[in-house]
Amino acid sequence: MNRAATDQPQAGTDWELIGRDSRGGEIRITATADQLAKLTNGLAIGRHRRVCDFVVPDETMSRRHFRLLRTADGLMIEDLHSLNGTYIDGWRLEPFQLVPLRDGMAITAGHVRLTANLVRQA
């Protein structure tokens, strides 16, 4: 978690969160640079269709579990005061704490396990 600020990818990059839900189903969340730039409140991820931009239908996820948010410091991940917590590389985020998203980070939300992947643009 203690990487230099220069490790943060530039604003024009795309991200994928790839992993499995608590039943082994595949999850793939794509967050493009254009999409993130347009969403002033970030990309909300959770199990409720009305309040999330990406739905993960898993009972261990909160309605609004976490979000990805573009800031001046780069792409951040933030737990939205979820019941089961959001973990980055095994470390539990405090609610509403912004943490820089890094390539290869392991994200656990409830029993959903994801890996953050920076999509290299040609």
pLDDT tens for each residue of 60-88: 999 999 999 998 888 999 999 999 999 99
pTM: 0.86
Helix (H) or strand (E) holding 33: helix 33-38
Burial class (CB in 10 A: 0-12, 13-18, 19+), 59: exposed
pLDDT tens for each residue of 24-38: 999 999 998 888 888
